[in-house]
Structure formats: structure tokens, C-alpha cells
Amino acid sequence: MSKEKIALFTIFGGTGDLAQRKLYPSLFKLYQKGYLREHFAVIGTARRPWTDEHYHEVIATSLASLNADPAAVTQFASHFYYQSHDVTDAQHYVTLKKLSAKLDAQYGLQGNRIFYLAMAPNFFGTIAQHLRSEQILTTNGFNRVIIEKPFGHDFASAKELNDQLTATFNENQIYRIDHYLGKEMIQNISAIRFGNSIWEALWNNRYISNVQVTLSEKLGVEERAVYYDNSGALRDMVQNHIMQIISLLTMDQPVEFTEHDIDVEKVKALRSLRTLKPEEVPANFVRGQYAATDQVKDYRSEDKISPDSNTDTFVAGKLMVDNYRWSGVPFYIRTGKRLADKFTRIDIVFKRPIVNIFNHEDVQKNDDENSRLNANVLTINVEPTEGFELRMNAKHVGQGFATTPVKLNFALDSQSVSDSPEAYERLLHDVLNGDATNFTHWDEVAYSWKFVDTIQKYWDEHTPTFPNYQPGSMGPTAADDLLQRDGHEWIYKS
Ligand SMILES: NC(=O)C1=CN([C@@H]2O[C@H](COP(=O)(O)OP(=O)(O)OC[C@H]3O[C@@H](n4cnc5c(N)ncnc54)[C@H](OP(=O)(O)O)[C@@H]3O)[C@@H](O)[C@H]2O)C=CC1
Ligand SMILES: O=C1O[C@H](COP(=O)(O)O)[C@@H](O)[C@H](O)[C@H]1O
């Protein structure tokens, strides 16, 4: 059976950074793999008055790093059409409708439509409303809309946005992108948990001491300063990516591995998160902003950032999940810009054995002040290495019976990494298949915002002392204190 998918993509924001850096290369990969062949077309729209010819050049440039066969690139680009369009102008949707109908007939697209809103979220409502009022949605095929992050600024704005979208689209037509859900090792969380009896048996508060999720970035705010300064790390990374990871780590086993059943379990997990009272925020969440070094500017001196900005470029926090499985287990999270390195990892720290029968003099060198054995740690390396690591205690080689920590390691080889689809490619493929498993659903978004809003509100009402961490570090020392107060420490230290 052919794996070819049939659809017309309409990309709002077709001249933008996301389209050029992520969407066109991903569509090309799908084309190279045969998921897109003859029966697809792409309309790129934005205000710039580009011609189709110029658009084809832009497509070719965006694929340059793939070193693809030039003939294939030309053939692929021939499926792309550009329409200059201001999304607030109703008249342009009439032209868009005509072009869509023409391309549908030309490429045999069977009324299948995918609308990608790669634009600022304040336009999403207008676009959705016009797609309905100008009757651009089809009745003979599928209509799917892909929404970029950020999905709102807080719960209230997210709800307003959702109401606007659901006036045109059903929930099962809406694909809210969280690109972390397209990453190989994030998808692997479910495989590890539900595909291995050893882990599922231990995946609870009887055996797990704490869990640590780190999304660390080396770069600063870069080109997206205007957006970032209005957002900050809590909204940019925690509300979406980190909350999704937490829900995948904490959810119960879905009845079946389907979009619906996974959503049910994720929502239960997110509902079980302990909501902080305002006065509990400072003891549980730490914010930071990077200072300057000889090599890099401080955040407040970055281009387009206000010199008195109190935006958080770092967050660390402690989350508690109040249910039977997780009661008493802290989930520590941290993310930030200008940290020691670029990596994402999850450390599952198991409880240490209660008794150390190897407890004699030569053992104590390897042990802590209580002479107890080290904790087992399962590390899920999401990026740049993709794999798992298990830290265990083994006998130290030689005389006596000292123990020493050893690591069992699995990392995807370079061939598997290069064969593994990039997150956007994977997620676009899912949309073509009508599979929203790896997208966020409204109820998940709503609970995540409600959790984050309490923290943000407290922060907005209290002025921080910024800057408070050095570029190249792992954030402010308060992020270490957060764990030390509980008798824990970060497994990854810079
Ligand atoms: N870039 C990235 O890495 C990521 C981006 N995102 C999200 O994706 C979305 C797009 O981001 P990005 O590509 O970086 O943004 P850009 O600013 O690069 O692109 C914005 C696009 O919107 C178009 N546009 C702006 N106003 C109008 C209008 N009135 N009518 C029609 N088109 C308009 C612009 O084209 P023109 O000026 O020609 O009209 C441009 O194509 C945002 O929601 C962002 O938060 C999310 C994650 C990562
Ligand atoms: O969503 C976002 O993610 C990127 C980090 O993504 P990664 O895949 O490179 O880990 C982050 O830089 C950006 O600020 C944020 O909007």
C-alpha cells in the first residue's frame, strides 16, 4: 500500500523564521521518504509581496544544509505557491479560497486541508474566524489546524484563544504543537515505563526518592528577544515542555496506547499536581536572570531587552504530585538560558538501600557521611546524546568488598540518530495521519496554565534581585538550596 499522504498545506507566516528553519526542511524530508509525492501542494502566505519564483528560491535556500539532489529540490519546490496576504483583510481569503480550489483540482487533493498558523498567536483567532466565514474549510476532505506555541500568556488568554479556535474547529481538528513531544527520547518515556516490568514495578514512591528534569540551554535570548522578554522561562519552557514531560513521567498506564487514553491519564496526572498557595511560591520556585561575563552581555543589555527587565531567564522548582503513586516524591525541574551546556536529561533517583552490609572502613571512601550505598539513578538522555544510563553499585575490583558506582549505558548510534526524524518532521507526519497523540490537548494546556499562573502572579507582585547567576553556571545557588533543604542534590552538576 502506498504511504503517500494527500493534502494542501496553507502556511500562515510562510516568510517567517519557523517556516524557513523548520517547516520547509521537514516537509522536504517527508517528500524524500515518499509520504508526500505527487498529491500535495503548499500555499505560503504572508504580507511580503513575493513571487512564486522568489518563494521557490527561499525554499531551496532553506534546504541548503540538507545537501539534497538539486533536481529533487526543484521538483519539490514546484509544489509551492505564494500568496501575499494580510490575515486581517477578509478580501484576501477570497483569493486564498480560489487558489486552494485550483490547486486541489490540479494536484487531486480530495479536499484535504492542513492550516499551519506559524504566526504570532494574536492572529490565530482572526485566521480561524475567516477560514470559517469565507468558507475555506472543505466538506469533502479533512480540515486540520496546527497551532504554534505560545498557546496563550496565562489561563485566561489561553481560554480566550481556545474559544476562538473552537468556534471554527473541533478539538479533534486542532493540533497544538509542543515540539518536545516529537523528540525520540521523550516519546521513549512511555516505552521505558510501559514496556519493561522492572521499571513499572518500581515507578512509585516506595522506590523513587526524587525525579529531576533539566532543560539546559547554553545560548542567550538570541533573535526572539521581543517575544521572550514578554514571556520568560516559566512561560516559555515550563508551562509547555516541562509540564508535558512531568505528565508523561507521572501518568498511570493508559488502557490503550491511544490519543484519547493517553490524554485521560495525562490530565489525571496534571490535576494531581499540588497547587501552591502564593506564600509557598518562594520556598518552591526559584527564578533567575543571567549576568554578564567578559564574553557575553547580561540579559538586560541584550538587543531589544528593557534595561530594567525582570524577566526570568532561569527557573527551578519543586513539584509535588498528590496521589497514591507519587505522594512524598519531589519532582525537581530546572531550565534556563546561558547555562553550562545545551542538554536535556531526566534523572530518576531511586531510594538508597536501607542497610549497607558492606559498611566497613574501605567502603566509606565511596559513601556519604551516613556510610550508605549510593542511589541508583536512571537517566534518560534526551539531547544531545539520546539514550539511557543506569547508575548502580558494583563491587570494587580487587581485594576486600568495597562498592563502587558503575554505569550501564545505552546510546543511539549515529546512524539511528540521523535516521530518526526531527521533531517537526515527525509531528507533521502525525498530522497527515490524523494522529494527535503527540500534541497537547486543551484540558492539559488548561491545567498547566493554572499551575504556572500562581507562580507567575507571585513573581509579578514581588521584585526580584536580578541578575543573580553567572553564564556558564547551572543557575543561581538558590536552585541548589531547593534540593539541599530536602536532603537531595542535583545529579547533574556543571
Ligand atoms: N522561530 C522559532 O524557532 C519558533 C517559533 N515559534 C512560534 O511560531 C510562530 C512564528 O514564529 P516565527 O516564524 O519565529 O516568527 P517570524 O516573526 O519570523 O514570522 C512571523 C510571520 O508572520 C507574518 N505576518 C506578520 N504579520 C502578518 C499579517 N498581518 N498578515 C500576514 N502575515 C503576517 C510575517 O511575514 P510578513 O512580515 O511578510 O507579513 C512572518 O511570515 C510564533 O507563534 C512563535 O512563537 C515557536 C517555537 C519556535
Ligand atoms: O520552545 C522553545 O524551545 C527552545 C529549545 O528547544 P530545543 O529543542 O532546542 O531544546 C527554546 O530555545 C525556546 O526559547 C523555546 O521557545
pLDDT tens-place string over residues 142-166:
999 999 988 999 999 999 999 999 9
- 3-state secondary structure at position 214: strand
Average pLDDT over residues 333-342: 98
Atom of ligand 1 lying closest to residue 46 CA: 32
Residue 26 to residue 427: CA distance in whole angstroms:
9
CA 360 to ligand 2 center in whole angstroms? 48
Question: Cβ(217) to ligand 2 under 6 A?
Answer: yes
Beta pairing partners, 84: 46
The ligand minimizing its distance to the Cα of 219 is: 2
Range in 77-81, 96-100, 348-352, 359-363 the model is least confident about: 359-363
Considering the chain, what percentage of its residues have pLDDT values greater than 90?
A: 90
- 3-state secondary structure at position 45: strand
pLDDT score recorded for residue 371? 67
Write out the CATH class of domain 181-484. Answer: alpha beta
Question: Cβ(178) to ligand 2 under 6 A?
Answer: no
Average pLDDT over residues 101-110: 98
Query: What is the distance between the terminal CA atoms of the chain, rounded to a whole angstrom?
Result: 51
- Has 47 been labeled as part of a binding site? yes
Residue 415 has φ and ψ, to the nearest 5°, of -65, -45
pLDDT score recorded for residue 70? 96
pLDDT score recorded for residue 400? 85
Say which amino acid occupies 370: N
Which residue spans within 255-370 are E strands per DSSP? Answer: 285-288, 314-320, 330-336, 343-350
pLDDT score recorded for residue 361? 53
Write out the CATH class of domain 7-148. Answer: alpha beta
- 3-state secondary structure at position 346: strand
Say which amino acid occupies 167: A
**Looking at the annotation, which residues are catalytic?**
241
Average pLDDT over residues 390-400: 92
pLDDT at 277 over 60: yes
Which of the four pLDDT bands, split at 50, 70 and 90, describes residue 329? very high
pLDDT score recorded for residue 419? 87
pLDDT score recorded for residue 65? 94
Residue 19 to residue 208: CA distance in whole angstroms:
42
Average pLDDT over residues 184-189: 97
- DSSP-derived secondary structure for 356-406: -TT-SHHHHTTS-TT-PPPPPEEEEEEESS-EEEEEEEEEPSSSS--EEEE
- CA geometry: angle at 422 spanning 418 and 424, to 5°? 165
Residue 479 has φ and ψ, to the nearest 5°, of -70, -30
CA 47 to ligand 2 center in whole angstroms? 26
Which of the four pLDDT bands, split at 50, 70 and 90, describes residue 262? very high
CA 123 to ligand 1 center in whole angstroms? 10
pLDDT in tens, 359-371: 655 444 444 555 6
- Has 226 been labeled as part of a binding site? no
Average pLDDT over residues 392-405: 89
Residues of the chain with CATH 3.40.50.720: 7-148
Residues of the chain with CATH 3.30.360.10: 181-484
pLDDT score recorded for residue 359? 62
